[in-house]
């Protein structure tokens, strides 16, 4: 199937449109853009930079994707952006390009209205940003994480896979995988139990994660945190979920850890 482009839209020379691409009225597609098979731009969509958009991605009106970052140090240099297959980008969303490898977004992600992804972010698969979520530069989010509406995430923060951040939060610390965080400034409330149950985690699997969480943040444990992490790695050596938490905690980080609030 040949691409379908509305006569009012502009597709610059050099842009590549896959089979079955549909471009609605008043869109602008830059010369460095590649749209995967079956991608749809509804209307009034701008896509620029060195942007690669996967198959069957749908972009709703007034979204701006792949434009230069708002990083004052970078100026308005053209950057790169990669978006995986089957993503949904709703009205007014802005996703900025990044330097070098650029901003990278996995498959089946959903960006609700007016959410913002800054330069050089890394998002895994099946990530959901609710309305008006703001991600600073170099934020990393793991697979199946969900961020509640009107939440702001500080630059360089990492949010682990399967985590949930409640709405109206200000996140300035790293959130471990499988956790539930909320508040301004955000702190941990425990595990993302509802999300894990909805994704089919067995009761035994969730209980192991709960034991690991309690050991990690036990208030009566006098050991330094690195010793607790080492103990967790030893005691749950055959548990892939706990290994994911340990790996997250041992990975290089520039932000503090989001932890439970002290009583």
Q: Which of the residues 120, 126, 239, 241 is marked catalytic?
A: 120
Q: What angle do CA 96, 62, 8 make, to 5 degrees?
A: 115
Is position 92 annotated as part of the catalytic site?
no
Say how far apart CA 109 and CA 56 lie, in whole Å: 12
- Known active-site residue 119: yes
Cβ atoms of 178 and 160 within 8 Å: the answer is yes
Catalytic residue among 44, 119, 138, 144: 119
Residue 215 DSSP SS3: helix
Rg (CA), the chain: 20
Are 46 and 67 in contact, with CB atoms under 8 Å apart?
yes
Q: Which of 136, 137, 142, 148 is catalytic?
A: 137
Among residues 66, 63, 77, 70, the alpha carbon closest in space to that of 27 is found at 63
Catalytic residues: 119-120, 137
């Amino acid at each position: 199937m040949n691409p379908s482009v509305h006569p009012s839209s502009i597709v610059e020379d050099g842009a590549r449109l896959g089979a079955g691409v549909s471009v609605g009225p008043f869109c602008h597609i830059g010369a460095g853009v590649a749209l995967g098979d079956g991608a749809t731009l509804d209307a009034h969509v701008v896509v620029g930079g060195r942007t690669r958009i996967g198959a069957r991605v749908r972009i709703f009106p007034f979204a701006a994707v792949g434009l230069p970052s708002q990083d004052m140090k970078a100026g308005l240099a053209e950057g790169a952006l990669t978006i995986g297959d089957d993503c949904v980008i709703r009205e007014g969303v802005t996703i900025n390009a990044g330097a070098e490898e650029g901003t990278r977004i996995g498959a089946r992600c959903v960006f609700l209205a007016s959410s913002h992804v800054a330069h050089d972010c890394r998002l895994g698969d099946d990530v959901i940003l609710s309305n008006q979520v703001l991600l600073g530069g170099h934020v990393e989010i793991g697979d199946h994480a969900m961020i509640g509406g009107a939440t702001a995430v500080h630059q360089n923060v990492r949010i682990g896979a399967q985590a949930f951040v409640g709405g109206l939060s200000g996140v300035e610390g790293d959130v471990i995988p499988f956790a539930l965080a909320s508040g301004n400034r955000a702190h941990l409330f425990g595990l993302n139990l509802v999300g894990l149950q909805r994704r089919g985690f067995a009761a035994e699997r969730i209980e192991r994660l709960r034991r690991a969480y309690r050991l990690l943040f036990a208030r009566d444990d006098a050991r330094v945190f690195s010793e607790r992490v080492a103990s967790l790695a030893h005691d749950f050596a055959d548990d892939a979920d706990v290994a994911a938490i340990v790996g997250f905690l041992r990975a290089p980080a520039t932000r503090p850890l989001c932890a439970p609030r002290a009583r």
